[in-house]
Amino acid sequence: MNHIMLVRTVALGAMASVALGAYAIDTEPPPLPPGSARVQVEPGQSKEENERMQRAHEPHAPSQHTKDYTHDDTAGTDQIVAPPLPPGSTRVRVEPGQSPEETRRILRAHRAPKRNHLKSKPSSPIGSPS
């Protein structure tokens, strides 16, 4: 054994004894539970959470990449958002033109009274009753 090796051995021995003294006296540990040898511990997120995280950031359909990026799919549909319809709107039936009353009124107005019709009726070939 040369001098350098001797010094190194002594130094290592001294370090080892210091190190041993620095640690707690070996208390008998409790036994590990059954199945411990088969347990694989992974720090961080669970496998499912990692997969979900990865999946969340992937594409979901080829169409996501095959669009015309210049064609606005809202073109021609831009509108100011309309105010909501009032209550009962769904039951409303709209008819163009005059109200039914007015129509009836006009019809009525232009309809000759039955009496007039009678008056205008051609005379009986046998002549006026009067």
Structure token digits, residue 111? 């309809």
- Residue 72 or 102: the one with the smaller Cβ distance to another protein is 72
State how far the Cα of 117 lies from the Cα of 120, in Å rounded to an integer.
5
Contact 120, 112 (CB under 8 A): yes
Instruction: Assess 101 for contact with another protein (CB under 8 A).
Output: no
Supply the minimum distance, in Å, between the C-beta of residue 85 and another protein.
Answer: 17
Instruction: Assess 80 for contact with another protein (CB under 8 A).
Output: no
- Residue 63 or 128: the one with the smaller Cβ distance to another protein is 63
Structure token digits, residue 38? 């088969």
State how far the Cα of 61 lies from the Cα of 59, in Å rounded to an integer.
6
Q: Which one of residues 2, 3, 59, 127 is an interface residue with another protein (CB under 8 A)?
A: 59
